Amino acid sequence: MPRAIDVVKAFLTALLLVIVLFPLYWTLNYSFLPEKDTVTYPPNFYPRWPDHFTIDHYIEVVTKYPMLRAIFNSVVIIVAASIVTLMLSLPPAYVLSKLDFKLRDSIYYFIMALLAIPWVSYVIPIYRIARSLGLIDTHILLIMLYGFSGIPQFTWLAVPFLRSFPDDLIDVSRTFGLSEIKILFLIVIPIMRNAFIALFILRFVWAYSDLLYQLVFTVEQAKTAIPTVLEIPGRFVMPYGNMASGGILVVLPLLILTISAHKYLVSGITEGMRITY
């Protein structure tokens, strides 16, 4: 019986991997096919290299559209915003997890309630304020939007991580005269850096993949990667090869980040599971 369960688990895992990775494989395959091969029937499920191979789509996307600048804008904006989110989320999360005061639980539940408010409800008032201040299509606006909008969510996510931190170390630090903010930044964060790097990666992925703010608040100078890819389709023609190559270029920073930092992601999430209440 245990062996049968293991087989079922392995099969379900393999099936999930196929479901998750097949769209990426399909996009990568089509990004290297000549345009005439992207509209054939039946579709080309497998690479037809080297006879049917081209990098023209990548060249056209990079030269015809400001793709590289858009990806650079995305990375710079989201990295800065993710740092802002963590720096402003960790202090309240530390207070809610390690300090005992009367309204602690009420504040925590209020933060949870904020998570139920959809981002789209903020768009119109934020747009009117940003337009009056001349901040539309600026990097600083997107940094503030993604930095501040993630505070409730990542305060809520950071609380379990900080609850797992030993209280004895905090008590010892207090006996040496360290303030709570110094304990957080000099003791807690260095020791739990893997957990906070995991939170940084999660915030980067979620913000990088968002379309709403990037589409509404950018025009040209601060335009990011995803809105730029959406400009590739023509009015009467759908260039599948260009769309596929643009999609691969957009996903590339996420792949590089998650692959290079996967050990921090796994160990950080595992560390957060060891919660002591």
Task: Outline where DSSP puts E strands in the chain.
Answer: none
pLDDT of residue 271: 63
pLDDT of residue 275: 45
Question: Which residues make Cβ contacts (< 8 Å) with residue 261, sequence separation at least 6?
Answer: 197, 201
Tokens of 91: 């202090």
* Cα dihedral: 80, 190, 268, 180 (round 10): -90
Write down all domains in the chain, each with its CATH number in brackets: 1-54 (no CATH), 64-273 (1.10.3720.10)
| Distance between CA atoms of residues 94 and 33, nearest Å | 52
pTM exceeds cut of 0.75: yes
Average pLDDT per consecutive 10 residues, the chain (277 residues; last block may be shorter): 79 92 89 82 72 85 91 95 94 90 87 84 91 93 93 90 87 89 90 88 92 90 88 79 91 90 74 51
